[in-house]
Structures are given as structure tokens and as C-alpha cells.
Chains A and B, each alone.
Chain A
Amino acid sequence: MFLINCPYCGERDQQEFKAGGEAHIERPKQPTELSDDEWAEYLFMRKNIKGVQFERWNHAHGCRKWFNMVRDTSNDEIKAIYKIGEKPPTQ
């Protein structure tokens, strides 16, 4: 059970959060201009890395804010947490 440091509320138990998949996949601004393959790339393709991964999380049973997390999926170490719109930390 992770201890997650919500950027708006502070440290809270993982129970209060919802994972939201890979981060930094922007919704295309002009979807109609995309080919089926390009749209499918946005819609379905996710990396699912073993190692350091950028993820979206939502403080669902708290402030309801979304934020980003850098997590090592091999040992569940949370390396960084930052707000939506902020630049991801460089390693």
C-alpha cells in the first residue's frame, strides 16, 4: 500500500487514490486529421514499462485532483510527484 504525497493535500494512503495510466499522452487537437493508425496509437497504445514510468494519478477520495507520478514499477518506488501542466523531472 503506497503512501502518496498528493501535491494538494500531502501524504495519504493509496486507498484514496485511483491510478490513471500512462502520463503525457496528449489528446490530439485535431482528431479528424488523423489516420486510423495514428488515432489507434493515441487511443490504445501504452508502454507498460518495467522500470521508471510516468503515470497519472487521481486523488479520487480526496481533493479529486489529477497529478503525475514517476514510479519505478519494478519496486514501486515513487520517484517524483508533480502537478498537471508542470514539466516532468529530468533524471
Chain B
Amino acid sequence: MTQNLRVKSSEFIDETNRISFKFDGKTYYGFKGDTLASALIANNVHLVGRSFKYHRPRGIMTSGSEEPNAIVQLNPNSNITEPNARATEIEIYEGLEASSQNCWPSVNFDIGGINNFLAPLFPAGFYYKTFMWPKSFWEKYEFFIRHSAGLGKSPTTKDPDIYDHRNIYCDVLVVGAGISGILAAKNAAKNNFKTLLLDEKNELGGSTIYETNEYNKINNNLASEWLKKEINELKNIKNLEIKTRTSVAAYHQYNYLLARENLTDHLDKKDKKNKIRQRLLKIRAKKVILATGALERPLIFNNNDRPGIMLSSAIKKYSNFYGVACGTKNIFFTNNDSAYESALSLYNKGIKVEAIIDIRENSDAKIIKKINDAGIKIYWSHTIVDTRGYKRLSGVSIMKLSNDGTSVTGSKISISGDCLGIAGGWTPAIHLYTQSGSKLTFDEDRKIFIPKTDTKEQISVGSCGGDFELDEIITNLNYKLKNFLNINKTDFEGITLENDHETSKRNIWLLPSDQTIGKTKPFVDYQNDATAKDIKLALREGFRSIEHVKRYTTTGMGTDQGKLGNMHALGIIADIAGVKMGELGTTTFRPPYTPLTFGTIVGRNVGEFFETFRRTPINDWHIKNKAEFENVGQWKRSWYYPKEDETMHQAVQRESKAARESAGILDASTLGKIDIQGSDASEFLNRVYTNAWSKLAIGKCRYGLMLNEDGMVYDDGVTTRLGENHYIMTTTTGGAANVLGKLEDYLQTEWPELDVYLTSVTDHFATASLCGPNSKKILNKIIPDLDLSDVNFPHMSFKEVLIDKIKCRIMRISFTGELSYEINSPASYGEAIWQKCIEAGKEFNITPYGTETMHLLRAEKGFIIVGQDTDGTMTPIDLQMDWIVSKKKYDFIGKRSLYRSDTMKEDRKQLVGLLTEDPNIVLEEGAQIVSELNQKPVEMLGHVTSSYFSPNLNKSIALAVVKDGKNMMGRKLFVPMENKSISVTVANTVFYDEKNERLNA
């Protein structure tokens, strides 16, 4: 197709730079500066999609981010494909490909279009009403619904583009670079405020920049000419940063805003390479000036959705800015003067305007005379009652409106045309304003929501603040800026302003037709295919709250969040319910204002940077020795070390046997370590652990259990007394940060009188845990000078030694029940010390083992793992660990709660051992436990918390929490599984070496 609708060259379009692009597989040409929408219109392509529910043909309606219809899939079938892009925002570049969405098999022949003829079957709430029953049918319905109602396709491969985040701090942020935004930013920057000016479009100047209305004049120049000079001056202003193609997505409290800066989408393919595609700006502004403008409203009348029906302001922008005529025979339909400006600018370019239909009785604006002079027919007090044309508008039928505006009279007049501009007035773009927490008020006279109570350090200027006419905008802007910035004068104070004034108003939310409402299709939400009829139905069915009506009818629920039709929905509801719109309230506008890509949201946090990992100083050795890793909190811990083709089970069985029969070694560096110092350190430990600490001798270690104030087990670990006022506490790997936080909390807020200082030293040390009957011999080879006898270095004690001149702390403590030593070395020597242990242990076949074997070995001994065998509802008594709870101490965290009637109940869930009748069956962790199989309803007694096959006992063992478990020793219970039921017997939690003889073996 040729560019037959390019009417006049435009200064905003570079006609020397011809660009080819593809739409629905067909190649077209446009120019640099075109959007996909303007280029398509220039090629006389209006039909760009199908509607969501009825699959009605839809065309481009707007020229901006509020577009409901022209939603396209960019670069389909590639790894950079993107659904739901608005053709009105996409700047074309060489090689761009786009396709229609929501139509199958093609936009011109769409199977779903049959829904249009079945429309009586698709009323509001149709999906809720029909597809929810019979319930079992949903899966079948869903397949068809999803297949025919495509909302674009997500890419299926990795996004190759680069995204970025940037934090910005500024004194003044100005959102929107129309005339108000530009003047605001300029004056803020000139007064030494560090200023940031953002606009979603690629050009500054908003709608004023392409204004040709000779009635709008500043200092006797066209407003557009005057503004261009102002924009030119911005270059020389310090303190001012300007970002175009940058859309503010969210406005949070305390002037924290998120914006998406589009850096390369408009560039040719070759120029995009290796550049950041989009950047998320995280802006913290001292002051925010909203200059977001206003969106033109459509009019709601029968069949108001045909391709070729557009906003009047969009037609003006296509003609004035892009130099494109939207139609060859244009009609306008309006309730205000702005459509006349659009009509006149077409007329002045030689584009034919057939007629203007105005629902008002008259207007005394100066521009009316121009229209009359041009010979354009105006139908006052008329409304469109129907439109014609399936894939493109071919004409409209109009009738005279009754005085009250609820019906039509007289005979029908038919007007033919291929483009209809509709002008229903203006809605201030208050979306960001309300997101910030500011409150609106409804102006009943002008039928608009305007700002009422601003949050701190924020103002709205220009049309988003409810000022629509040039003199009003500039005068109020001057006043507001001086107050807000606390300055004496603005640089535009005293300019002379001339403009037309609108005096005549008439607003009808739903325009009548000669047909009954049931036979009409007046669309309120184009994207979601919600009509005024649906809203009426919802009200008839009893819905009253605007939020409910919205969800029931899906009005405003599309990707455009109903930017065009929300006000009409409110108006129609108010009219029917007989309430004032102000009383009805408005729906909430949630971020993002326009959709964001996932790429922008995650920025650089993809792939290996998705999550931060912590690795121990011995990590390289583990990798070299083929360890499999497991995530524990943020840590990557070695899980097991498979040899050749060993399975996990085989590896763990081998490691577990080796650790008990000869020697094993575990990297325990991840355990939390808190250095505790101060003259009240012992008293502090007394208060935070359940057992007594005052009498712990220097050089000795003790196991401690920490509770929450509610009496439930919170963490555990061994603490060593290094000196009179010096302890080192170990915590669980996952609990380290929380334990430190909790201890700080008590120290700072409850016991500030205690002289105690806490320091996290987890990363300062590497820990190699030597375990097994030969561990003493290995340690002896490493430190021959140290007397390792049970007298000199007994279980639960500590020595500070030098290994190759490196100061190390060795604790003789055990989490496996075997003789073991934990060697803590400075982190940077961790791998060397580990390597030394491995060398020394070779003759004993020392076996590195991971967390899985550690878990198995401790389960054999019945040692708990906080977070696995406990879940925040277990007291030490429930764990059968009464021995560790001091009866003598007056107080410790959680003590009082152990005497609450609930925690003292006898039949709480308690930790017990479980043995399966068949020793080869290993229970599933999390499996439920019951006492009777046929009881209904079945009573769940508890669940399995840890379960392993023990190679050292050659049978399956498990720990479980069972109601009243303490009194069930020896009882037979059942673990029902999907196809079988497993018989188990309640047993002691200690399965191996009950007398702890191996600790001193």
C-alpha cells in the first residue's frame, strides 16, 4: 500500500529517513519519528486488532499510552518478542516487526468474531456465571477460552537484552513535559533546585508543541512557537536533567517514584547492540510537581468502537505532529469546543471534514465562526445513534436529542465518512496523584476529579490539576510555583495570554439511541469489551460499590486500566443509582501507570545474580572434589560428595559409615558465630538461654537452647567461654542473623544496663569438623605438641593452638555422637587447614561428608535440628529436653510461657522416635501419623519431621512429633500413604549409642 494519507510534511518527522517495517507479515514504510500507529494510519491501516470478548474489529483510537485497542505483539516468534505493546507508543525503526493480538487465525478473518453475533450470550459476569458450573467442566472451558482470547504471547526463551537500575536523588521532580512541566522545571532549576524533568514521549512540549490554533497566543506568538523558544533555552540551564521516553510507573509515599527509561527501543536493530534497553529509575525527590496533563474522553454511544472512530485530539496530533490524515472524509462528534480545533486543523491542511455533531445547543466560542466560514456543517443538539462499517467506519446515523438528553426525536440523518473524531471532554490524569496517597474531590459542575488534599511536598499543575485553558494554566502555574518553591518571581510572570474560552457545556454519560439499550453496543471499556449495558445489568443484579461493578463487568481491568472509560462507568452508575458522582468515589489506580517489562523490574538481578549466595572459604575444595551443593539460607553448603556413578543415597550411606567407623570431615563454616564480650556477658547468657551459664569454666563449652518469649524453641548451638568476660556463641546456619537481631533487641531495649557487646564473626572463621574414632589420631598428627588426653582436652572443652603459626580455636564438641573436634581457623586459612586435615587423615581413609550425612548422623543420635524437627510450636518440654531447662534460674527469655496452661498441657505434640515395622521402608518427611486407619474423620496425631535409612543400624529411623507422644512409647501407629499404609512403632528419640560411649572412644 502507498502512503496515501501523508498530507503535509511535519517538522517532527524526518522524511529523508525512510524506514521499512512489517505489520502482520506485510511490509510498510514510514519515516523516522513515526510511531507504529502513525505509520500504519499513513498507510491507511486502521484495523489492528480484535476485541477481547466479542472479537470485534478494532482500530487505533488514541495517540498515546492510554490506547485500549492497538495492542500489538512486537517481534513475534523471536527471543525479544513482547506482548501488549501499544502501537501508539512504539517508535518505528528499520526491521521492526509487529502483529495483531487477540485474533486467530488473522485480524481480517477471526473465528472468535462469531462471539459478536452471540453477544446476547455474553453479558456481564458471563464467565463467572457460566463457566463455574458444573465445576468439573472448567478445565474444558478454560482450554477454549484461553485459545481464543489470546492476550499476546510471552517469549519462551531467555531475554537477551540488558536492563539496569539507577537511584536518583533530586530537589524537584517534574513529571510531564507539556507547557506546565517545562515552565515548572525551568523555574525550579533556575532557582538552584536540582531538577529532573521526565516525559513518556520522545518530544518535549506535550500537546502545545503542535498547537496551531491561532486563538491560543502567548506574547502575540502562537503558543507552540513561544514554547519552542522556551524549550530551546532549557539546554543552557544548569541543575536540570531531562529524560524523554521515560514513563513514571509508580508514585509511592515520601516522594519515592519509579520510572522506566526507554533507551534503545526506538533505535535500529544494529544500534541496539550491547546497549542497555531499559532502565528503572528509583527516584527520591524532595519535591514533586505533577504535570501529567489530561486524557480526552470518548463519548459512549451505540457501536462507538469501529475502526476509524478515534479521539478527536488524536486525529489532531496525527495531522499536526505526524502529518498524517486519519481519514479522507472526517466527521466529528463532540460535547465541547476542542473538536472544532481538530476539525479546523484538518480543514487547514485540505483534509475534508464532512460535519460536526454537537450535543450542545450552541457555543459562542470564536472558533465556531471559522468553522462556519469553512462551510463545515454543524448539527447542534444532535447525537449519533448508530455507526456503520465492519472493518472500517463507513458512516454514522444521527438524530436530534430530546431536551433532557435521554432520548432522540425526529428523523434519522445519515452521514458518510471513514473517520470519526469523538470529543467527550477531558479527564485530568490523576493516576499518579492518587497513587501517592493524595485525595481527590469531584467537581460536579465540570464533571472531573481534581486534586484536593496533596501529600507533603507535592503539587499538580496544568490540566492534571484541573486547569484546561491557556490563561488559567499559566496564571495558576505562576502562583502555585512561587508558593511551592518559595520564590519571589517566575521568569514567565507578566507574559500576555490570549485564548478562546469555553462557556457552553453539556455532559451525557450514555448517549441515547433510537434502539433499546438491549439492542445497542455502547462500549465503555474497549479493551475488555464492557458496554454500558453490562454496567446496567450489574446494577440491576444488585451491585452498588464501584469496585464490585468494576470486577463484575471487567470495566477498567485491562492493560490500559480503563484510562478512557472509567469516568463514564462512574457516571452511568451514578445516573442509575441516583447519587452524585462525588459520593460514589472512584476506583483505585494502582501502579504501574503503564505496564513495565519484567526485565526492567529485575534489572541486573538475573542469572547468577538473581540471588546472593554465600560460599565458605573451603568452597573451591568442595567444587574440585565434586560436591553436590544444597542451599541453606543464603549459603551454598556441600550436600554430599558422590564418587563416580554413586547415587545420593549410596554416597550418604558410605559417608555415614565412614564417619562412625574411621573418620569424616565436614565444613561447618556456615554456622553463625557471635562474639560476646563485656562484664555482664555471663548474666546475659543466663537470660537468653534456658540453662545456667554463670558457672561455666573458662575453656569449656556448653550446648544452649534459646526460646522465644512465647516459650517455643528459637535456636540452639554451642557457646564457649574464651575468657572471664568473653564468649563465642554458635547459632544455626539459617538463624544467625535473626539471633543476632533478637539479642540486640533485648540488649538495647529491655536490658540497656547490661555491659555486653555483640559482634557477628561468622565470616571471620572457617570451621573444619573432624569426626570419628580416628579423629584424635589425625589431630595429633597435625598438632603433635598438644596433649589430647581426655584429662587435658575433655569433651566440651576448648583449646587455642597454633597450626603452622596460625592461631586456631579447637572445640571438642560433637553433633554426631562420635569423638569430634571443630577446628576454627581464620577464614583466609580455612582451605589450608582443611587440606592439612585431609592429608593427615589419608591413612585413615578420611571421608569428607556433607549436610545430608550430618543430618543422618545426628538423627541416629536423636539430636534436633531447629526448623526441621521444630516449627515454632515446640517447647523444650515437647522436645523431651526438660534436662536443659533450668528450674533454679528466676527468669530467662520464654520461661514464664513454659508455665502457661496451654504449654503445660500433657497431650501436646511431642518429639518421639519412630521405627517402621519393615526396617527397609523409609518414611517420607512430612507424612501424617494416625492411630486408626478406618476412623472418620481421621484424627491426625502428628507428622514425621526427620527420616533416614541408617547404615550404622541397618534400618530405617525417623523422628516425629506426635500428640501425647511421651505416653505412647511402644505404641503401634500408622503412616497412611497414597497406596499403602505403613505400620510404625513409637520409640526413643536416641537410636544409636544411647549411653554416649563413643564420645570418648
Contacts and interface: CB of A to CB of B under 8 A. Distances in A.
Which among B749, B750, B900, B901 has the greatest number of chain A C-beta atoms within 10 A? B749
B748 A65 contact: yes
A20 interface: yes
Interface in B714-756: 741, 744-745, 748-750, 752
A56 B741 CA distance: 13
A13 B709 CA distance: 30
A1 interface: yes
Contact of B748 (A1, A3, A84): A84
Contact of A39 (B254, B255, B891, B900): B900
B709 A58 contact: no
A75 B439 CA distance: 11
Contact of A2 (B253, B744, B750, B899): B253
A64 B252 CA distance: 25
A2 B254 contact: yes
B890 A32 contact: yes
Given A65-B748, A75-B437, A3 B741 contact: no
CB-CB nearest 10 A-B residue pairs: A31-B896, A1-B256, A3-B254, A66-B748, A27-B750, A1-B252, A76-B253, A39-B896, A84-B749, A66-B749
B683 to A, nearest CB: 15
Interface string A61-91: 0001110000000011100000011000000
Interface in B283-297: 284
Contacts of A13: 256, 284
The bracket for how many chain A residues form the interface is: 20 to 34
A76 B437 contact: yes
A43 interface: yes
Interface of A: 1-3, 13, 18, 20, 26-28, 30-32, 34, 36, 39-40, 43, 56, 58, 60, 64-66, 75-77, 84-85
A32 B896 contact: yes
B254 A1 contact: yes
29 contacts: A2-B253, A2-B254, A3-B254, A3-B255, A18-B741, A26-B750, A27-B750, A28-B896, A30-B891, A31-B896, A32-B891, A32-B899, A34-B896, A36-B900, A39-B896, A39-B900, A43-B897, A56-B749, A58-B741, A58-B745, A60-B741, A64-B741, A64-B744, A66-B744, A66-B749, A76-B253, A84-B749, A84-B752, A85-B752
A39 B897 contact: yes
A77 B744 CA distance: 27
Nearest to B890: A32
Contacts of B255: 3
B498 interface: no
Nearest to A40: B900
Nearest to A83: B748
Given A28-B896, A66-B744, 17 more contacts: A2-B253, A2-B254, A3-B256, A13-B256, A27-B750, A32-B891, A34-B896, A40-B900, A43-B709, A58-B741, A58-B744, A60-B741, A64-B741, A65-B748, A75-B455, A84-B748, A84-B752
Interface of B: 252-256, 284, 437, 455-456, 709-710, 741, 744-745, 748-750, 752, 890-891, 895-897, 899-901
Contacts of A27: 709, 750
Nearest to B256: A1
Contacts of A39: 896-897, 900
A78 to B, nearest CB: 8
B891 A31 contact: yes
A13 B749 CA distance: 23
A68 to B, nearest CB: 9
Contacts of A20: 745
Contact of A66 (B456, B745, B900): B745
B895 to A, nearest CB: 7
Contacts of A40: 900
Which among B255, B256, B456 has the greatest number of chain A C-beta atoms within 10 A? B256
B588 to A, nearest CB: 15
A16 B116 CA distance: 54
A56 B748 CA distance: 12
B284 A3 contact: yes
B744 A31 contact: no
Contacts of B253: 1-2, 76
A3 B284 CA distance: 9
Contact of A36 (B284, B744, B891, B901): B901
B903 to A, nearest CB: 10
Contacts of B744: 58, 64, 66
A1 B254 CA distance: 7
A27 B710 CA distance: 12
A20 B437 CA distance: 24
A18 B745 CA distance: 12
Contacts of B749: 56, 66, 84
